Structure 1
Amino acid sequence: MLCMFAMLFQTPVMEEWSISQGTDIDVDFPVFELWLQGKRSKEILEFFSTGSPPMRQMFSDDIIISHIRDQHSLYLFLKSYLEHPWNFVILRHQLNPQDRNRLINTYYTFNHSFARELLNHRISSKLRKDVDEIANKLRIPIIPCFRYFDNFRNVLNKFDDSDLVPITDFVRQTFAMSDELARWYATVIFLQHFKFDVGKKRVQFLTFTDLCSISMSIMQYWTCTAPEDISDYVDRELFNRLHECKNVDSDGVAAVTEFALARVQESGEGDTDSKETIRAVIKELFSLAAHLKDVKEIFYNLGKVAESGSGLSQKTMSLILDALIDYDWTAHVEKLSSKDLSRISIKDWERFVSCCKKCIEVVHKSASIAY
């Protein structure tokens, strides 16, 4: 652990690292992570009191503190590369790919509670002054929160300069992040760019992980297959066609309700008292479809669907949505007086309900835990 980097040296006056072509950069990751947490040298020194045997029994405090300071100088040197990971190519002979990837993923990892709170706002530069207040509210260390915030801004700005999609692929390739971390940042970009409102009371119980799951489903089902850039990403033509669901009358809602109820009862779930609740769910689903054009309200409207079925079990809700995926939309349209519904194809209906199934299951499950 206490590698002194024989070929990596400090300039005493500037306290900066300088690297020769033959230098191997050796990062002490436990110390690196403690620096990221905002720990001071004396606090990190205590870290070396643990282990078997404790490092403080093997080395003097002066040697350990010197190592800690060396690692801090190394961290400051690497910070500009971490902020612009594509520049790591310059250090390809000094830093092995495994350590580079670990550095990037460690540096860009963030607290989900902090991210969830930020997403209630526009993540603009003006919000940075409120970071300490948010950290205090969440009772988490302040110093790392500024890094989380700056990283979000960095990724958002880089995306704004390119507008390339799919978003997850852009993040993963540009910042060399792990798949999971790229999905997390893609969620932040997606929610911020399209100004989804996730701050309303009805959806406040959704965790960052919930928002990520829902965002990934929306990007899977409700986006265009080959968009040129972010302006063409959300399939607004699909939303325009589904807007015709505003013409589904009470008879149409009743027909779909009977179909879903029969499927639920075939599985041994629900009872006659469930009919009105199922009808309320179906009605809210048609309302959701009709209002997808109002993109920023999608999460709120998903919450309304889940709330309408709050008296149903998770299994019953899944059965209803499975039934709707199998529903013969063409036959349904032929029975209705409004021919405008014929604009909605079977594929449109399947895309709509398949996404709803994944999203509403997440919302319904989280709501049952929260309440």
Structure 2
Amino acid sequence: MAEISVNIFVGNTTFIDPEVYKLWLEGHSSFEGASIRYQKLSSQTAGLKFDLLKSDTTDNYRMFLAMEKHLRSPVTLSYQPLFQIPPDMQRMLIEKYYELDSIVAREILGKKLSSKHRKDLDEVSDKTKVSLKSCRRQYDNFKRVFKAVEDMEGPMVKNIQANFCFSELLAKKYAAVVFFANNRFETGKKRLQYLTFSDFAFCADEMIVKWTAGSTDSRKEDLDADFDREFLQELRELKILVSDKDASDQHKGLISASLKGKISEKAYADIESNFKNLSRAIVNIASGMIHSKELRDFFNDVVEKIVEPTKQAQWTSNDMALFLKCYTSSSYQIEGMGRHSRLHTTLERYMTTLTKCVLRMYHS
């Protein structure tokens, strides 16, 4: 009788079904998850038994629940002994667990991450059509990241990556959540409802890069969550652009001469007739940021005093981009600014970020 040679390989790598994991994250019960899987697979697999699929789904859910304590502390996932998970699968598990539903994040953004607001998540669920379980998981994720990094020194995005093993893209989204929660920006006003989470996250990233204490001095504490107070104080000195009539008239003349023929006729006519109001809005927003309430109203003020009036005057995005660029460059030529060269750096720092934020918000 011929000998039969059999090679046996024994492994304990944990198998993760991404589709079942997605159903679990979405907040479906194991029965609901099995039903969704059955509807999808029964037409593709002859003789598929629902009970078998239900049992498999329940086993997967039980495994995810056992993993969840490590997902809440992602750095432990790589060295815990219970589940042998390849590095690429670990990254997928973490990224998906902390993935944001933009519509949910938009509802939570700017709110204090407290137990009181957690109780209101049923309203968020009804409004966004995202399950309450998913809303709660996302809210708890926001709060967990916020608590972990709010008092840390060093760049916030890197701190989040180090503590939660996020990709840079996901870490930047959470940095925006932390930044907004820390500074309590007003995001709920009616005129702001057209702005998306992505709009706010973009602006938060620009503010972190240019306007926080760590943006100019890496030795300072609370680097990325707090604004640079010295910078906010210096912004008050930009009132020189609007407090002196001669300076304001000179500024308008420089801008008009530079933009003639380069922007739409409607935008040019509006600059000619409404320059002082627009310039005053730009400067007043800057000078008011030293006060907590006015800082919290930054986005509302930008939309109310810059975006809405120019849109009503039928400016295009290109008109606005050229105007803001010219507004900045021509400011340096004004006599009063010429005597305060230190303000050139302050103005550039302010206008670079304001310009990016305004242009990002300049949509329907």
CA 1:263–1:279 in structure 2 vs 1: closer, same or farther (change >3 Å)? farther
**1:264 pairs with one of 259, 264, 274:** 259
CA 1:131–1:268 in structure 2 vs 1: closer, same or farther (change >3 Å)? closer
Whole-angstrom CA distance in 2 between matches of 1:157 and 1:55: 46
1:114 paired residue number: 104
**1:322 pairs with one of 325, 330, 335:** 325
Q: Which has the higher mean CA deviation after the structures are superposed, 123-132 or 60-69?
A: 60-69
1:264 offset after TM fit, Å? 2.5
2:137 paired residue number: 147
**CA-to-aligned-CA distance 1:268-323 (integer Å, 9 cap, x gap):** 53355222244432221111221121332322332222233222211111101111
Structure 1 residue 46 and structure 2 residue 44: aligned?
A: no
**CA-to-aligned-CA distance 1:156-198 (integer Å, 9 cap, x gap):** 11123x4233222221221111222111111010011122222
CA 1:83–1:273 in structure 2 vs 1: closer, same or farther (change >3 Å)? same
TM-score (norm 1): 0.83
CA 1:297–1:318 in structure 2 vs 1: closer, same or farther (change >3 Å)? same
1:328 offset after TM fit, Å? 5.1
1:100 paired residue number: 90
Amino acid at match of 2:55: S
**2:184 pairs with one of 195, 215, 239:** 195
1:52 offset after TM fit, Å? 7.2
**CA-to-aligned-CA distance 1:114-154 (integer Å, 9 cap, x gap):** 22122252121221111112211333322211111111111
Aligned residues: 341
Structure 2 alignment gaps of length 5 or more: 1-8
1:87 offset after TM fit, Å? 0.8
Structure 1 residue 307 and structure 2 residue 300: aligned?
A: no
Q: Which has the higher mean CA deviation after the structures are superposed, 24-33 or 176-185?
A: 176-185
1:344 offset after TM fit, Å? 4.1
Between the aligned residues of both structures, percent identity stands at 24
1:212 paired residue number: 201
CA 1:228–1:170 in structure 2 vs 1: closer, same or farther (change >3 Å)? same
Whether the 8 Å CA contact 1:49–1:56 is kept in 2: the answer is: no
Whole-angstrom CA distance in 2 between matches of 1:194 and 1:41: 40
Q: Which has the higher mean CA deviation after the structures are superposed, 258-267 or 51-60?
A: 51-60
Structure 1 residue 243 and structure 2 residue 236: aligned?
A: yes
1:261 offset after TM fit, Å? 2.6
Whether the 8 Å CA contact 2:42–2:48 is kept in 1: the answer is: no
Q: Which has the higher mean CA deviation after the structures are superposed, 102-111 or 139-148?
A: 139-148
CA 1:120–1:241 in structure 2 vs 1: closer, same or farther (change >3 Å)? closer
Whole-angstrom CA distance in 1 between matches of 2:220 and 2:77: 29
**CA-to-aligned-CA distance 1:53-75 (integer Å, 9 cap, x gap):** 85652643332222111101110
Structure 1 residue 132 and structure 2 residue 122: aligned?
A: yes
Whole-angstrom CA distance in 2 between matches of 1:335 and 1:152: 43
Whether the 8 Å CA contact 1:168–1:183 is kept in 2: the answer is: yes
2:334 paired residue number: 332
1:353 offset after TM fit, Å? 1.1
Amino acid at match of 2:106: R
TM-score (norm 2): 0.85
